[in-house]
Amino acid sequence: MKGKLYGIGVGPGDPELLTLKAKRILEAADVVAVPVKEEGEKSTALEIIRPVVSLEHKELLEVVFRMAKDKEERKRCREAAGKQLTDVLDQGKNVAMITLGDVAVYSTYMYVNQYAAERGYETEIIPGIPSFCSGAAAAGLPLMEGNESLVIVPSVKAGKALEDAIAGFDNVVVMKAGNSIGKIGELLDKYGRYRECATVLSCVGMKDEYIGPLDSDREYSYFTTVMIKREKR
């Protein structure tokens, strides 16, 4: 009998924001799969669950997703990861793969979920709290109210998409924004929006948490989101 593959969203950083269902499935799974960019790399998702999930005698499996610029190389890497996981499922083991935030938001897991499902394996996705929801709560700000609109873009690398978002939407969430704080400020100026309407949400729930205004002189981690409101609050 083949095992079952679970995709587990572990939330934004605070171990206490892991859902009860995620904890139960992780502790019941035979294998916890840990996505990394390179073998031996420290996993933030794994460190999040360590304080609240019993990992004693648990098999941990590194799954490598290299961030190659070449699309074909990324595709080959994802297929190799899918094959690695389904080989374990063929042994009758249940596998829970962890991912930061929510599984459906910019998650590498969705590639292997499709790979496994297309080959007849049973899969299940367990949602987690997205970083921008946790950040909005920590900042005491609503993501949207009434009939307001909301758009989510990955970073200023989105180019015109971010400009269109700032020009046309009430609320904008810019993810993976750590290296783009200065550029975001310039775009706000360009489209006549107050810089004070933007809040940086960096490492929310982690050791180096920063919640505050745009500050181009600060160094920000990869785990940085910018939340832009239509009006100052």
pLDDT of residue 175: 92
Contacts of 26 (CB under 8 A, 6+ apart): 8, 32, 49, 53, 96, 98
Class (C level, CATH) for 131-228: alpha beta
Cα 75 from chain centre: 19
Q: How many residues does the chain have?
A: 233
Residue 230, pLDDT score: 87
**Rounded CA gap, 178 and 117, in Å?**
34
Which residues of the chain does CATH 3.30.950.10 include? 131-228
Q: In the CATH scheme, what is the homologous superfamily, with its name and number, of domain 5-126?
A: Tetrapyrrole methylase, N-terminal domain (3.40.1010.10)
What global pTM score does this model have? 0.90
pLDDT, one tens digit for every residue, the chain (233 residues): 999 999 999 999 999 999 999 999 999 999 999 999 888 889 999 999 999 999 988 999 999 988 777 888 888 989 999 999 999 999 999 999 999 999 999 898 999 999 999 999 999 999 999 999 999 999 999 999 999 999 999 886 667 888 999 998 999 999 989 888 988 999 999 999 999 999 999 988 788 889 999 988 889 988 899 999 988 76
Residue range(s) occupied by CATH 3.40.1010.10 in the chain: 5-126
